[in-house]
Structure 1
Amino acid sequence: MTQSPAPPLPSPGERRRLRERGALTQDQVAARIGVPLKTVRAWEAGRTAPRGRKREEYARLLAAFAEPGPGMTAGRGTDGTETTEPTEPLERQTSPDAEPSGAGPANGTLTPAQAFDALYAFCAPALVRQAYLLTGRRALARESVERAFQLAWQRWPEVAQDRDPAGWARAATYDYALSPWHRFRPSHRHGEPPPADAADRALLDVLLRLPPPYRRTLLLHDGVGLGLPETAAETEASRRATAKRLLHAREAVAARLPELADPSGLHRRLTGLAAAERLPTTKPTTVRVSGERRARFWTRAAIAFTVAVIGATVLTLHTAPTRYQQPVPAGETVQGVPPKPAPGPLSYEQEILRDKLRSQPQNGPERLVPEAR
């Protein structure tokens, strides 16, 4: 009796890439195969290799991520045909009604527009749900995703070369959604209708009561499924601070909803709350065109502002004085000057002097008399 050969496995680096392509964490892979977390880490590091049934399950899981595409797992339908279905609803996945981005050129590469459309169709549906959990507002969730991808299209060379373009878009979406300036918008003075289910309303209310950094950390770790190092890197905090935020957020949720004290139960409830809301996304072509229009508008506004500043500077230089003019000092009160006498009757001596001056206007050595010629 011969033993069947062991199924081939990709290289350790390719194993991690395929897992990330399937939007799974090492914890989720370990739970699916039924091995400890440190075993999966050893497999991806190349220190050990699976054997027997575990090897077959691991190879089948990686092959499923390699064949159908990112975020999809292979399976069999009721009629025996092969089907694909998305992985975790809260993580990166394509929507059922997402339009294909079109075929690339003959050499198999994608144009920048096609690559952007593919990334948007892959990430946008899940990011809208995540932004809704962060803000509790449906319109703001869609706007956050659109603004994030408009920024991604403006910086596409940078985003295309990033190790994790989906993570770049997620971070930009979270930053815009949690911006404190939204509170000053007139449209945010009134809240939106809450979820229909009472349990979902209670969970969303607890989330919105958390401080924004705690809310973001809880969603990334217990909702999306990122590890503690990845969560700390995306929130730009240390691992120690991230762990404290996660701990306090879990305690706050458990204090209001004791049934969600288990992280796995909280993950299922977050996934269910996000999937219960129907949040359509805008077409990627519309997002690109809107982003280009916005970029042109702000570019022209910046040019107009610069021209206005230059014109004001030139006018000031043309009309400004060319030499220094000393300012006129303020007047000062002079002390010791006798007051001017008020008019009144003349004395006897003054009357004699007046009559003398009138009678002899040309006498006296100091008088100058004009001579007629």
Structure 2
Amino acid sequence: MTQSPATPLPAPKERRRLRESRSLTQTDMATRLGVSRATVRSWESGRSTPRGRMREAYTRLLAAGPDDVRPEVTVPQEVISSGLVGAGTNREARSGTGRKRSARAGERPGRKRAEGRLTEGLPTEEWLVEDARAGLSEPSLTPAQAFDALYAFCAPALVRQAYLLTGRRELARESVERAFQEAWYRWPEVAVDPDPAGWVRATAYEYALSPWHRLRPRYRHPEAPPSGAADRALLDVLLELPPVYRRTLVLYDGVGLGLPETAAETEASTPAAANRVLHAREAVAARLPELSSPEDLHRRLAELASAERLRAAKPRTVRWYGERRAQQWTRAAIAFTVLLIGVTALTMGTAPDHYEAPLAPPETIHGLPPKAAPGPLSSAELKLRARLRSQEMNGPERLIPETR
């Protein structure tokens, strides 16, 4: 997360005027910033405001115009040609001389600052898509090299974000590795996604917040809390929030996504996401009054995430485990299919092909009187009826049917 002061932005009407003065449409602006046209429209109408690196890129684009804007990021050559973050990047990155400017005096070019930033290493929207029209002939990478480039940029930040969601170090690493294994399994789909980092982030968040982890023996007991008292207090407050509120707060105040992007990733409406952010902030401020300011909360989340030494596995290891898992599931599916075919064939071979009614042999039954057919009464039956009618009746009166 960026710890530099917020870049001043023009008024909403002034943003639109500056864009139109440089002959840029909202679609052109959205393409250069890597966001949707609706996001640019909301910025110009005043409904939302860009934050973090996106705010700086948007301000530079309004001030410098379409021909002078260059993103101040260091982009490896393999990522440029992989197509993961767009069609291209700035000229300095293509020539190998581009370096990220430091916000602190005396800091070396390219050196990572704000060591605990949640978004450090992520291919964010600041990578402007503007060289697709230049007709560059960059050598394409293999799928494994493109995956490794995406993993190198996303994994360190995603592990820190997953730790804020779960409070567990092992589960945070496992969530990120499982997300990238799923991405490698579906790499043809992820490689052409407009936001592959967002795809992996959503998958990692879903796995980290799954309620089934509480049934696993290794996750039934809590892990050791952070060493600092302030970090423990903040982590306890985060873990007391409902999972959906915790996820929304990390995305908006931690990662720095805009409100529409946060709502889209959490599968909620924009008003619902805004209410979740407000309620989560109120819950944090009630326990920690010093974090009532969003800027202070933004800074403390970065410090909490950077307090733990969380490292992700090597990309080659993640790919190997992903391929092994896919092979095991494939073999299990094949074995189950073969077993089902064998049981079906055995059933069809042993089952009768037509119905045969069972024929029981006749047997004579002794000791039972023969069943009388309906007809007139015999003389013995008539005498018995007359005798019964002639006897006095004991007990309460009751109706007796009479024959006529």
Percent sequence identity over aligned pairs: 59
Is the 1:77–1:83 Cα contact (8 Å) retained in structure 2?
no
Instruction: Give the corresponding residue for 1:26.
Output: 50
Correspondence for 1:239: 270
Aligned mate of 1:93, from 107, 121, 125? 121
Counterpart contact for 2:51–2:257, Cα < 8 Å: no
Equivalent pairs, count: 294
| Equivalent in the alignment of 2:290 | 259
Question: Structure 2: which amino acid aligns with 1:231?
Answer: T
Mapped to 1, the partners of 2:70 and 2:93 lie a distance apart of 11
Q: Secondary structure at the match of 1:222?
A: helix
1:142 to 173, 178, 188: 173
Distance 1:262 1:77 in 2: 24
Partner of 1:305 in structure 2?
336
CA distance in 1, matches of 2:23, 2:325: 44
Given the two structures, how large is their TM-score scaled by the length of structure 2? 0.64
Q: Distance in 1 between matches of 2:329 and 2:300?
A: 42
Higher-RCO chain (CA-CA 8 Å, sequence separation at least 6): 2
Q: C-alpha distance in 1, partners of 2:28/2:317?
A: 35
> Which residue of structure 1 lines up, in the alignment, with residue 101 of structure 2?
74
Paired AA for residue 27 in structure 1: R
For residues 210 and 24 of structure 2, the distance between their equivalents in structure 1, rounded to whole angstroms, comes to 42
SS where residue 193 of structure 1 aligns? coil
Distance, in Å, in 1 between the alignment partners of 2:103 and 2:283 is 42
TM-score, normalising length: structure 1: 0.69
Q: Note the alpha carbon deviations across 1:278-320, whole angstroms, 9 max, x for none.
A: 0111110111111111100110001101111111112122222
What runs of 5+ residues in structure 2 fail to find an aligned partner?
1-21, 36-48, 74-89, 123-136, 371-404
Equivalent residues of 2:100, 2:109 under 8 A apart: no
Q: Matched residues in 1 for 2:339 and 2:242: separation?
A: 42
Question: Is 309-318 or 164-173 further displaced after alignment?
Answer: 309-318
Following superposition, the deviation at residue 184 of structure 1 comes to 1.0
Partner of 2:302: 271
Which is worse superposed, 169-178 or 316-325? 316-325
Q: Distance in 1 between matches of 2:229 and 2:358?
A: 75
Give the match's secondary structure for 2:232. Answer: helix
1:295 to 289, 304, 326: 326
Q: Cα 1:156–1:202, aligned 2, differ >3 Å: closer, same or farther?
A: same
User: Residues 78 and 10 from structure 1, CA distance in 2 versus in 1: closer, same or farther, beyond 3 angstroms?
Assistant: farther
Match of 2:233 in 1: 202
Q: Structure 1 residues 246 and 296 mapped into 2: Cα distance closer, same or farther (>3 Å)?
A: same
Paired position in structure 2 for 1:162: 193
Q: Which has the larger radius of gyration?
A: 1
Aligned to 2:101, the other structure's residue is in SS state strand
For the residue of structure 1 that corresponds to 2:175, the secondary structure is helix
Amino acid at match of 1:115: A
CA distance in 1, matches of 2:312, 2:108: 30
Which one-letter code corresponds to 1:91 in the other structure?
Answer: T
**Alpha-carbon distance in structure 1 between the residues aligned to 2:190 and 2:23:** 27
Alpha-carbon offset, residue 254 of structure 1? 1.6
The amino acid that maps onto 2:191 is A
CA contact (8 A) 1:68 1:74 kept: no
Hey, what's the Cα distance between the residues in 2 that align with 1:274 and 1:160? 28
Alignment of 1:81-230 (within 5 A): 82-86=109-113, 89-93=117-121, 107-230=138-261
Query: Who is 2:353 aligned against?
Result: 322
Residues 84 and 63 of structure 1: CA distance in aligned 2, closer, same or farther (over 3 Å)? farther
Per-residue CA deviations over 1:220-239 (Å, capped at 9, x if unaligned) read 01110111110111111122
Aligned residue in 2 for 1:362: none
Q: Deviations over 1:150-181 (max 9, x none)?
A: 11111111111000111111011101111111
Q: Partner amino acid for 1:85?
A: K
Pair 1:82–1:205, CA change in 2 (3 A): closer
Report the aligned-residue RMSD. Answer: 3.5
Distance 2:170 2:190 in 1: 25
Over 3 Å counting, the alpha-carbon distance change for 1:292 and 1:247 in structure 2 is same
Question: In 2 relative to 1, CA 125–15 (structure 1 residues): closer, same or farther, beyond 3 Å?
Answer: farther
CA spacing shift, 1:15–1:131, aligned 2, 3 Å: same
Contact 1:74–1:85 (8 Å) recurs in 2:
no
CA distance in 1, matches of 2:34, 2:304: 24
Once the two structures are superposed, the pairs formed by residues 311-350 of structure 1 within 5 Å of their partners are 311-324=342-355, 337-338=368-369
**SS of 1:26's equivalent?**
coil
Secondary structure at the residue paired with 2:102? Answer: strand
Distance in structure 1 (CA, Å) of the matches to 2:359 and 2:243: 59
Partner Cα separation in structure 2 for residue 296 and residue 220 of structure 1: 34
1:92–1:127 Cα contact (<8 Å) kept: no
Give 3-state SS (helix, strand or coil) of 1:295's partner. helix
Provide structure 1 residue ranges, at least 5 long, that are not aligned to the other structure: 1-8, 34-39, 95-105, 340-373
Give the letter aligned to residue 273 of structure 2: T
